[in-house]
Amino acid sequence: MHRVQRQVEDFDEELRTLAADMTATMYAADGVGLAACQIGVDRAIFVFDCPDDQGVAHQGVVCNPVLYLPEGRDRKLDDAEEGCLSLPGAFIGCARPDYARVTGHGLTGEPVTFEGRGLLARCLQHETDHTLGTVFGDRLSSRARKKLYKQADALAVDYPPEWPAESR
């Protein structure tokens, strides 16, 4: 998961099937987002279903995402807890900008834009990071990263290798 994912070039039935499978996996794992690399597919695509800071749910698919974050005085950090379906059950504080906008392409190649605050901003950043070869643990101090992985190791018994395809 530490490498840039291959750009989506073909907006075809295979891509739509991939997105549907990813969405089903995300829901089965009670997640709010999932990138293709998390299921072993080398494509720059993610799906999400996530509330913003007002509790309004946003759903979508983004291929070839480009992330825009505030700079200067407009940049405010949110140090909320973050988790990842690749480390199920483990959460730790991770400072990220409280607003994010992502542009890219939808399933038919049409331009898409998603933006928001709160958990939605965190999700858009987290999933775009996956397509760029970054996992959220990379954004933590070594001490916090060690704590995160220790927590994930302790919870591993609750999440066998076939999870979430087979429920706990």
Alpha-carbon torsion, ordered 11, 16, 21, 22, to 10 deg: 50
Q: Choose among 31, 123, 36: nearest CA to 85.
A: 31
With a CB cutoff of 8 Å and minimum separation 6, the contacts of 7 are 44, 64
Known catalytic residue: 82?
A: no
Alpha-carbon gap, residue 107 to 15, rounded angstroms: 7
Of 13, 81, 115, 127, catalytic: 127
Give catalytic residue positions: 127
